[in-house]
Amino acid sequence: MEVLINTSLQRGAATCTSSSWFHVKTNLILNPSSHTLLSAMKTRAPLWLSTVVSLALILTSCSKKEDAQSNGPSKGKEKIFVMIPKGVHPYYEPCYEGFKDAGAKYGVKTEYLAAKAFEVPQEVEIIENVIARHVDGIAISALDDQGLVPAIEEATKAGIKVITFDAPAPSSKALTYIGTMNEAAGYSGAEQLIKLMNNEGEVAVLQGGLGAPNLNDRFKGFERCLKEKAPNIKIVAREDEQGKIDMTVNKTEALLQAHPNLKAIFGVSAEVCPGAAAALKQQGKAGKIILAGFDDLPDTLAGIRSDVVNFCIAQRTYKMGWLSVGKLVEAMDNKPLPKEIDTGVIIITKANADSYMQDMKKEFAK
């Protein structure tokens, strides 16, 4: 197990700062008895050490709580729903914001537990830990399909309601998937790109992990659209950057070297536009190579405003988090859930970069 972090988050994607990428705010999950020790540690010990120790404390306290409690989800007690993303990444900040806000509305306690890296064993271990704590509901963004099947089955057997948000695990027993219809979104991304590329040329695709069905579906839709509508556009590379911005920068540099005629870069995950934009700027190629992709991280929006990024496909992340709580509540009331719930996407260009967020927030005006 590496690091578990409970991020304290600002509402809306527009409020994520690029610094949060490198320094995720660490409001570690504390229980009263561990608080003093951790405060002292924070002043003297490096962050990773205090984080690892806090995790040990969390787990110790959890197993104690477990001894004292009966098996199965707590009845009549405050319910606990946990959001488990693929790993630490600013993309999930608005997801958890929606989750937390809905938790307050429904009177459910919410937690956010993120592994340090996008690695399946780490995500599985987090799921196992919350099963041991008998939480009531889990919302997972699946880093992998098959790899999560046993852990989701175990949680289900333990009476915990499990759903997926953002990234589905179709082979698992998760009760529903809440998020983007990814194949269709990848297809419409390609439609936009075709116009910008004038129906021809070389495009490279960057992807944050090759195991997640959501990203593979996007690529599938993207590729299908090019085959159907623009056979003169060639995908010359598809690279895995593991959800990391520094790796995206390096991969982009390598792509520029290997493919001197590259006309466009398309990102199927959130870190691509910020990372590729940085590399293009460094190489004096900003605005000369078409850059587009998923998600509306602040650096992507800045890139759109300054003509480094042509467009992005914004997912409704706050809504994913909000609906996750609503559907977990319904599941606890034994209501049937649909197999999937489409949260929709919005294409962002310079024309709507400054207004779309306000429009999206209206839906959740409190």
Catalog residues that contact ligand BGC under the rule CB under 6 A: 86, 89, 91, 141, 166-167, 208, 214, 243, 269-271, 294-295, 315
- Decide: helix, strand or coil at residue 31: coil
Classify residue 79 by its DSSP letter. Answer: P
Which CB, 243 or 298, lies closer to ligand BGC? 243
CB of 246 to ligand BGC, least distance (A): 13
Classify residue 236 by its DSSP letter. Answer: E
Which CB, 137 or 179, lies closer to ligand BGC? 179
Cα–chain center distance at 121: 17
Which CB, 176 or 214, lies closer to ligand BGC? 214
Which CB, 202 or 241, lies closer to ligand BGC? 241
CB of 116 to ligand BGC, least distance (A): 14
CB of 89 to ligand BGC, least distance (A): 5
- Decide: helix, strand or coil at residue 270: coil
Which CB, 81 or 177, lies closer to ligand BGC? 177
Do 297 and 13 meet the contact criterion of CB atoms below 8 Å apart?
Answer: yes
CB of 44 to ligand BGC, least distance (A): 33
| Calculated CA dihedral for residues 347, 341, 99, 97, nearest 10 degrees | 0
CB of 306 to ligand BGC, least distance (A): 22
Which CB, 201 or 274, lies closer to ligand BGC? 274
Which residues are bridge partners to 162 per DSSP? 138
Do 241 and 274 meet the contact criterion of CB atoms below 8 Å apart?
Answer: no
Backbone angles phi, psi at 116, to 5 degrees: -65, -40
CB of 208 to ligand BGC, least distance (A): 3
- Cα(81)–Cα(112) distance, integer angstroms: 9
